[in-house]
Amino acid sequence: MLKRLLKEPMVYFGIIGALVYYFYVPDITDKDLTDSVVQLPSRFVDAQKDKFSKQYQRQPSEVELQNIIDQEVNAEILFREAWRLQLYVGDAVVKKRMIQKMQFLLEEGSATKDVSDEDVEAYFLTHQETFLSRPKVDLYHVLFSQLLDAERHFEQLMKADGRSIEGVAGSVKGSVAFPLGNVFTQISEEEMAQFFGENFSENLGMATFDLTKLDQWQGPVKSRYGFHVVKLSNLSKAKEVSFSDVRDSIRKKLIETNRSASRRDAVEAVKQRYQVKITD
């Protein structure tokens, strides 16, 4: 019976709610917001004295302490008046803040089970292909704004038997400067797509790791910036990652997955008390 109760999200929500209600100490009073009496607990005054002392390295004077009290009392009164006038109704900022607080309570009350070493290892074995280090290559490129200039330069390279032009990209007729430079050392397909665009890496054969194109000029290859003449070299193929390298990251991922699922269950449990109607 107890184990079944501990799996219910609403049990945790109720416990958190009770703790918040019992231990919550507002700035001035925990009375009804419609009450005209503003109580000032002595512990509040003591807390303000201690706070002032830590900040200024001395005790506050009577005037300074009274100013602090007046500020808090005024804030409490204005808050109660705003509540009485229902100024929170229709206020998107207030609504968003209250939603955030409720989400926080539900998250704290979510039943998040611990993740065992067996769970972590099982996830690693099931998703082992996702833990491969990605292939990487050295990339050199020359960028052109016009396709014709890129084609002309590529033809020249072919006639010159593909001799390297590293270091003189800026002097190539029609070429333009690339914001991130002309040389990339050990760049992955994902990084290549991030810098140049998805089609760029596909056109270079990165997906199939075409070894026949290594150390040869290719192009023109279109990107979001223009047209590139490209050479790839020094391919580092994918390597398996050991379990010890990813154990901690898997554990964090599983914990967050469990927390998200528990949070959703808690919200769904609360929703059971409500009806949704679509009106005109």
43 and 138, same domain (yes or no): no
Tell whether 7 and 45 lie within a shared domain: yes
Give residue 79's pLDDT: 86
At residue 212, the pLDDT reads 65
Residue 258 one-letter amino acid? N
| Interval 110-148: pLDDT, tens | 555 678 888 888 888 888 777 777 778 899 999 999 999
Band of the pLDDT at 171, cuts 50, 70, 90? low
The CATH number of the domain holding residue 159 is 3.10.50
Residue 108: is its pLDDT beyond 90?
A: no
- The 10s digit of each residue's pLDDT in 206-238 is 655 556 678 888 889 988 889 999 998 888 877
Q: Does residue 40 or residue 60 have the better pLDDT?
A: 60
Q: Would residue 243 be called left, alpha or beta, if left means φ above 0 and alpha means ψ between -120 and 50 degrees?
A: alpha
Same domain, 141 and 200: yes
Q: Which domain holds residue 138?
A: 133-237
**What value does the CA radius of gyration of the chain take, rounded to a whole number of Å?**
32
* Same structural domain, 146 and 227: yes
- The DSSP output letter for 225 is S
| Final residue before a domain boundary, out of 49, 74, 109 | 109
Asked whether residue 61 falls in the same domain as residue 147, the answer is no
What global pTM score does this model have?
Answer: 0.42
Query: Where are the alpha helices (H) located in the chain, listed in sequence order?
Result: 2-6, 9-23, 42-56, 62-84, 92-109, 117-126, 147-159, 189-196, 198-203, 243-271
User: Do 152 and 105 belong together in one domain?
Assistant: no
CB burial of residue 276 (10 Å; 0-12, 13-18, 19+): exposed
Report residue 174 as tokens: 């029609």
pLDDT of residue 103: 79
The alpha helices in 127-230, defined as continuous H runs, are: 147-159, 189-196, 198-203
Residues 119 and 251 grouped into a single domain: yes
Rounded CA-CA distance 260/254 in Å is 10
Q: What is d(CA 228, CA 206) in angstroms, rounded to the nearest whole number?
A: 16
Task: Over range 236-245, report the average pLDDT.
Answer: 77
> Could you tell me which residues are beta bridge partners of residue 115?
none
| Four-residue CA torsion sign, 169, 174, 175, 177 | positive
Instruction: Specify whether 12 is located in the same domain as 64.
Output: yes
Q: How confident is the model at residue 57 (pLDDT cuts 50, 70, 90)?
A: very high
Say if residue 228 is in the same domain as residue 253. Answer: no
Buried b (16+ CB within 10 A) or exposed e, 154-177: beebeeeeeeebeeebeebeebbe
Structure tokens at 155: 């033809």
Domain shared by 94 and 120, yes or no = no
> Are 31 and 37 contacting, i.e. CB atoms less than 8 angstroms apart?
yes
Q: Is the dihedral of CA 124, 128, 134, 135 positive or negative?
A: positive
From residue 145, how far is each of 166, 169, 197, 202, 249 by CA, in Å? 19, 13, 16, 20, 43
Query: How many domains are contained in the chain?
Result: 3
- State how far the Cα of 5 lies from the Cα of 1, in Å rounded to an integer: 6
Residues 156 and 210 in one domain: yes
Q: Are residues 80 and 149 in the same domain?
A: no
CA 172/CA 170 separation, integer angstroms = 6
